[in-house]
Amino acid sequence: MPMKITNEIKDNTIIMTLDGELDASSSVMLDEELSDPEIMEYSKILVDCKNLHYISSAGLGVFISHLQRFEDAQIKLIFYNMQDKVRNVFEILGLDLLMTIVSDYEEARSIANE
């Protein structure tokens, strides 16, 4: 199953829904999406991971490579609805301490508005 990425815009927020598996093949698409200059016009990116069934180092690497740029531009990147097995991969590298991962949309929304 190829990766499907859907963006929904709400005011100054992008809600990015990931559907599928992020591996060395499909993560190229995510990188293109996050490299789009238009994304810098928003102050919050909320990533819905409910249907993200798999992530490899290539997928993690895409997020790692954009993190500093978003932080410098004061764009908040928040992951939510993450499956335990996917969250575990972030935890193995300690990325759960360096990125914002919360349980659901309401919590993501409230942290985004802090």
Interface residues toward other proteins, by CB under 8 A: 1, 21, 23-25, 31, 54, 56-58, 60-62, 64-69, 84-86, 88-89, 92-95, 98
H helices of 1-80, in order, are: 27-35, 57-72
Query: What stretches of 1-114 show up as alpha helix (H) in DSSP?
Result: 27-35, 57-72, 84-92, 105-112
CB of 1 to other proteins, least distance (A): 8
The H or E element containing residue 26 is none
- Shortest reach from residue 85's CB to other proteins, in Å: 4
Nearest approach in angstroms of CB 7 to other proteins is 21
